[in-house]
Amino acid sequence: MAVLRTKFLERDEEDLIHEQSLKGLADIGVMIHSPSVLEMLQEAGADVDRRKEIARIPEGVVDEAIRKAPRRIRYHARDPKHDFEIPTESFPFAATNGLAMHIADLETGKDHPSTREDLATFSRLADALDQVDYLWTSITPSDVPKAAHGVHELWVTLQNTVKHVEEVTIQDAVDARMQIALGALVAGGLEELRMRPIFSVIACPIAPLTFEKGAVEAQVEFAKAGVPVLSMSVSLGGMTSPVTLAGTLTNINMENLASLVIDQVAAPGSPHVYSSDSTPVNMQTGYVDYTAVETPLISAGAAQMARRYGLPCMTSGWGSSVTVPGLEAPFSELAGIALSVMSGTDLTAGMGGTDVAKGCSYEQLVIDAYMWENLRAFMRDFTISEETIALEVTRSVGHGNTFLRHAHTTRNFRKELFFRDPKKLRWEATLSDRMVPEAREIAKRLLEEHEVPPLDRDVRRQGNALIREYESRLVAS
Q: pTM for this one?
A: 0.91
For the chain, the C-alpha Rg in angstroms (whole number) is 23
pLDDT at 245: 95
274 shares its domain with 401: no
**In a domain? residue 469:** no
Taking the C-alpha atoms of residue 357 and residue 288, their distance in angstroms, rounded to an integer, is 10
Of 379, 399, 429, the last residue of a domain is 379
Tell whether 175 and 208 lie within a shared domain. Answer: yes
* Final residue belonging to a domain, choices 379, 397, 429: 379
Q: What is the pLDDT of residue 291?
A: 82
- pLDDT by residue (tens digit) across 159-189? 999 999 999 999 999 999 999 999 999 999 9
Within a domain: 458? no
Asked if the structure places residue 428 within a domain, the reply is: no
Whether 446 maps to a domain, the answer reads: no
Based on the domain organization, do 318 and 402 belong to the same domain? no
DSSP annotation string for 259-274: HHHHHHHHSTT--EEE
Closest CA to 316 of 91, 164, 10: 91
pLDDT at res. 105: 93
For residues 292 and 285, is the Cβ–Cβ distance under 8 A? no
Report the distance separating Cα 314 and Cα 334, nearest Å.
Answer: 19
* Residues 6+ positions from 155 with CB-CB distance below 8 Å: 182, 463, 467
Residues 6+ apart with CB under 8 A from 195: 226
Structural domain includes residue 15: no
User: What's the mean pLDDT when you consider all of the chain?
Assistant: 94
pLDDT of residue 426: 80
Give the pLDDT score at 255: 98
403 with 374, same domain: the answer is: no
Within this chain, do residues 361 and 253 fall inside the same structural domain, yes or no?
Answer: yes
C-beta neighbour count of 27 within 10 angstroms:
8
Q: Are residues 265 and 408 in the same domain?
A: no
The residue out of 399, 416, 433 marking a domain boundary is 416
Structural domain including 366 reads 67-379
Q: Is residue 440 part of a domain?
A: no
Total of domains in the chain:
2
* Helix (H) or strand (E) run with residue 340 in it: helix 331-341
Q: Are residues 254 and 182 in the same domain?
A: yes
Residues 350 and 398 both lie in one domain = no
- Residues with Cβ within 8 Å of 457's Cβ and at least 6 positions away in sequence, in order, are none
Examine residue 212 and state whether it is found in any structural domain, yes or no: yes
Give the pLDDT score at 288. 82
- What are the pLDDT digits (tens) for 277-323? 999 998 888 878 888 899 999 999 999 999 999 999 999 987 666 78
* 401 lies in the same domain as 340: no
E-only strand ranges, 137-203: 164-167, 199-203
Task: Indicate whether 345 and 394 sit together in one domain.
Answer: no
Q: Are residues 271 and 401 in the same domain?
A: no
| 289 and 373 part of one domain | yes
100, part of any domain: yes
**pLDDT for res 319:** 63
Point out the residues of the chain with pLDDT beneath 70: 319-321, 330, 430-432
Whole-number Å distance between alpha carbons of 394 and 401: 9
Q: Give yes or no for a contact between 203 and 220, defined as CB atoms under 8 angstroms apart.
A: no
Residue 358 has a pLDDT of 87
